Amino acid sequence: MVNPDAPESVRTAIHGADSEVGTLRTVMLHRPGGELKRLTPRNNDRLLFDGVPWVSRAQEEHDAFAETLRNRGVEVLYLTTLLTETFASHDARNHAITTALSGLHLGDTLRSYLAEALRDCSPEELTGHLTEGIRNDEVRGGHGLVTSLLPTDEFLIDPLPNLLFTRDSSVWIRDRVAITSLAMPARARETQLTELIYTEHPRFRDVEGGTRKIHGWHHEHVEGGDVLLLAPGVVAVGVGERTTPAGVERLARQVFHSRLAHTMLAVPIAQERATMHLDTICTMVDVDKIVMYPNVADSLQAFTVTASGVGTGISDRDIHLEVSGPEPFLIAAAKAMQIDTLHQIDTGLDPVTAEREQWDDGNNTLAIAPRVAVAYVRNDETNARLEEAGIEVVRIEGSELGSGRGGPRCMSCPITRDPL
């Protein structure tokens, strides 16, 4: 649907990305806010942070990151701004309130009270409550059995500190956006918000034909940090702590059905926090160069998945997946990309430095153009290696941002890149 009242730029805007390295035009970030102030030493593990960040410093670091991108000509959209704008619609607000309150821990009395209270909020306040959460001792009314019995510091709506990692809650594959399905309970609600933005925000709703979505939070787990667009038509997907085998199968069928790729590589990774996503192990920095954790590089394998039976009038369920392999990841990737070699640049120098810099997201770079990558300044060795290989490294500070275990790639959802 095209909204005739929308400005021309909105009606014709085309979003999407077919690689990890095409010149970045538009990105979605989340400036860390009050949700980080909810972290305490008692809940930080459950909320997937390694510590309790210094929030104002994290905000300064994030502002500098955003400014670095703007200085390179990238349009920065903020998730919370988009969400607040989306809440101009009453339907969108009601939908967000209903989904946020669907948890079974609330009970009918408290749920109705909270729903009414949230409906009275302004769009800005609603965004605040849905991202920062609401604690039992913060509700003024609705007192009944449930509020009396729950601990005072229990969250009625959980805060979403990992919204910072916008990479994980949606991912563009060509002109479609995949709404992901996050595996950890602390993050599951994030995609309710991204789905709403892509469905209801005028910028996405009013493009020619509407923004088309694949996957969804009700499907098997797939997280954006596991999805790497190696080249136009070639998508690698890590399968480990977050993305499940069934998740990659569902995504493959949908991607092939919509003809977004000809090959998908399913890449098993260790189910550990240090390697929670494929992008903690490797990221693309050029059309044929990848920065990679050497301690796993030799053992990393990939199954190559292609499709038969793709055609008009066929549903994604009817697509037959052909699976071959496994074979070494770099070999499978080069074959699928139809290049001689996918050149590997190592994280760190020796295994210990590599392990330290992998942990600190040395592999987690954000390419903003071929051979130009944003990286944390702290990873000296990896950054030096990238430069030796001819990559321009745009360094950012991230001592506080990194406490959530994510780097520049995790903290960005590319919405538009120039095609390669």
Ligand X SMILES: NC(=[NH2+])NCCC[C@H](N)C(=O)O
Active site residues: 410
Give the nearest distance from C-beta 153 to ligand X in angstroms.
21
Determine, following the binding rule CB under 6 A, whether residue 165 of this chain makes contact with ligand X. yes
- Six token digits for residue 356: 């330290």
Determine, following the binding rule CB under 6 A, whether residue 167 of this chain makes contact with ligand X. yes
- Taking the least distance from each CB to ligand X, the nearer of 48 and 130 is 48
Give the nearest distance from C-beta 180 to ligand X in angstroms.
10
Q: Which range of residues in 57-65, 80-88, 377-385, 403-411 is near ligand X by CB under 6 A?
A: 403-411
Give the nearest distance from C-beta 160 to ligand X in angstroms.
11
- Taking the least distance from each CB to ligand X, the nearer of 187 and 253 is 187
**Binding residues with ligand X: total (CB under 6 A):** 16
Site string (270-309) toward ligand X, x via CB under 6 A: ------xx-xx-----------------------------
Neighbouring CB atoms inside 10 A of 327's CB total 15
Q: 416, 368, 359: which is closest to 27 by C-alpha?
A: 416
Give the nearest distance from C-beta 129 to ligand X in angstroms.
22
Determine, following the binding rule CB under 6 A, whether residue 198 of this chain makes contact with ligand X. no
Determine, following the binding rule CB under 6 A, whether residue 406 of this chain makes contact with ligand X. yes
Spell out the residues 6+ positions from residue 249 whose beta carbon is closer than 8 angstroms to its own: 220, 321
Give the nearest distance from C-beta 212 to ligand X in angstroms.
23
Give the nearest distance from C-beta 221 to ligand X in angstroms.
12
Distance CA 109, CA 115 (A): 10
Site string (31-70) toward ligand X, x via CB under 6 A: -----------------x----------------------
Distance CA 136, CA 336 (A): 52
Determine, following the binding rule CB under 6 A, whether residue 158 of this chain makes contact with ligand X. no
Could you tell me if 256 and 250 are in contact, meaning their C-beta atoms sit under 8 angstroms apart? Answer: no
- Taking the least distance from each CB to ligand X, the nearer of 16 and 406 is 406
Determine, following the binding rule CB under 6 A, whether residue 225 of this chain makes contact with ligand X. yes
Nearest residue to ligand X, scored by beta-carbon proximity: 225
Q: Which helix (H) or strand (E) holds 358?
A: helix 351-359
One of 18, 35, 168, 357 touching ligand X (CB under 6 A):
168
Could you tell me if 348 and 356 are in contact, meaning their C-beta atoms sit under 8 angstroms apart? Answer: yes
Distance CA 133, CA 157 (A): 5
Residue 265 to residues 249, 261, 262, 294, Cα–Cα distance (Å): 11, 11, 10, 19
Distance CA 162, CA 224 (A): 13
Q: Which range of residues in 294-302, 369-377, 379-387, 404-412 is near ligand X by CB under 6 A?
A: 404-412
One of 30, 174, 205, 405 touching ligand X (CB under 6 A):
405
Could you tell me if 226 and 277 are in contact, meaning their C-beta atoms sit under 8 angstroms apart? Answer: yes
Question: Which long-range contacts (C-beta less than 8 Å, at least 24 apart) are formed by 103-110?
Answer: 105/150, 105/156, 106/146, 106/156, 107/144, 107/145, 107/146, 109/142, 109/144, 109/145, 109/146, 110/139, 110/142, 110/144, 110/146, 110/147, 110/156
Residues making contact with ligand X (CB under 6 A): 48, 162, 165, 167-168, 184, 187, 225, 276-277, 279-280, 404-406, 410
